Amino acid sequence: MLANGVRFHVQRLGPPPEVAPTGVTIVLIHGLIVDDLSSYYFTLANPLAAAGHDVVLYDLRGHGLSARPVDGYTLRDGIADLDELLTALEIDRPVHLVGNSYGGAIAIGMALEHPERVAGVAMIEGHYATAGFGEEMAETLRLVTVGIEDEKWRNWIESRGRKTMRLARRGVTLIEETSISQDVLATVPPQESALRALTIPLLAIYGGNSEVLERGRELERLVAAARLIVLPDLDHRVLFNTAPYLCRVLLWWYAGAIGEPPAWVPPDVPFEPAPLSRAMLPTA
């Protein structure tokens, strides 16, 4: 599907014939570099559609099966891409956005720039643009490119097989052959007053051991209708480690969030740690 001059890979899932549509459209926005819509497709998307929701997934520009133009990777471009995609999909009623990691920054940005488009936001370990956000993201991208040349990290990638190596190479290609590093560096954070003015319902789900938990706490402080859920012992990989629980929470949220959220029961198996943790990467 063509939007904002770029060919996007889009998947749209609806309820099965025997389930009445809820009229709620949910747009799932994935994270940067090694992420794509498959993170949602095999976790949240189908259970949400099975419950009657209209679910839209897309690969961000440069990711997954979408085209990889050489530029256009600012947060503002990401917001414009989503706005244009909704137009191309002929969706004119407000939608519920779900943002995982960097996808959270697009979701919050969309709510600020196009409030008429957004009925609510759910952040899963979501970033949003704060002071220093651009520098932080650019540094993370730099570490990825340095890291793939690092013996320790390279050995880890190779131990995971050709598939992981392809993913890593593609991520490095995106960083080295496009303007994404400069573009994220140029991110202009919104005024705190703009966030305080948000009136949409906002669900924030973060891991207790996550490097970005503070973002969730800030959103809870700034946004009047925010609800923060902190999952103990989890890091940034909340989506990958707790998808069944996230499904229950999101279904509760879209059903009107009556009462307390579903109880969190840690699974018996150990959590898989984040593969791109800063601790694994060289610092120079």
Partner 1 sequence: MIGDPELAFTPVTMETTFGGDLELESIEFVALADRLRTEFGDRVNFVAFLAEKNVDDIVALTVGDVVHYVAARVPEGTVEKSVG
Task: State which residue, 162 or 265, has the beta carbon closest to partner 1.
Answer: 162
Q: How far apart are CA 67 and CA 184, in angstroms?
A: 18
Interaction between residue 4 and partner 1 (CB under 8 A)? no
| 177 near partner 1 (CB under 8 A) | no
In angstroms, what is the minimal distance from the CB of 163 to partner 1? 4
Between helix 75-88 and helix 102-113 the angle, nearest 10°, is 70
23 lines the binding site for partner 1 (CB under 8 A): no
Bridge partners (DSSP) listed for residue 58: 10
Rounded Cα distance between 216 and 126, Å, is 8
21 binds partner 1 (CB under 8 A): no
Nearer to partner 1, 23 or 161 (CB): 161
Q: Which residues contact 265 (CB under 8 A, 6 or more apart)?
A: 245
Residue 19 to residue 206: CA distance in whole angstroms: 31
Tell the smallest beta-carbon distance from residue 112 to partner 1 (Å): 30
Task: Verify binding: residue 17, partner 1, rule CB under 8 A.
Answer: yes
Out of 155, 162, 259, 270, the only residue in the binding site for partner 1 (CB under 8 A) is 162
Site size for partner 1 (CB under 8 A) = 18
In the complex, least distance from residue 199 CB atom to partner 1, rounded to whole angstroms: 35
Give the E-state strand segments of 48-172 in sequence order. Answer: 54-58, 95-100, 118-124
Min CB(173)–partner 1 separation in Å: 12
Tell me if 269 contacts partner 1 by CB under 8 A: no
Q: How far is the CB of 190 from partner 1 (least distance, A)?
A: 31
Min separation Cβ 251 and partner 1, Å: 16
Q: How far apart are CA 175 and CA 182, in angstroms?
A: 10
Closest CA to 209 of 246, 231, 234, 239: 234
Contact between 209 and partner 1 by CB under 8 A: the answer reads no
Q: What gap in Å lies between CA 43 and CA 250, rounded to an integer?
A: 12
By C-alpha distance, which of 45, 113, 61 is closest to 250?
45
Alpha-carbon distance of 205 to 236, in angstroms, equals 10
Residue 65 interacting with partner 1 (CB under 8 A): yes
Binding test (CB under 8 A) with partner 1, winner from 25, 39, 187, 210: 39
Residue 270 contacts partner 1 per CB under 8 A: no
Candidates 64, 72, 104, 190: give the one binding partner 1 (CB under 8 A). 64
CA 61, 67, 71, 72 torsion-angle sign: negative
Q: Smallest gap, in angstroms, from Cβ of residue 135 to partner 1?
A: 30
Q: How far is CA 45 from CA 42, 51, 147, 193, 212, in A?
A: 7, 10, 32, 33, 24
Position 192 contacts partner 1 (CB under 8 A): no
Q: Of 4, 31, 55, 59, which one interacts with partner 1 (CB under 8 A)? A: 59
Which of 165, 230 has the CB closer to partner 1?
165
List interacting residues with partner 1 (CB under 8 A): 11, 16-17, 36-39, 41-42, 46, 59, 64-65, 161-163, 166-167
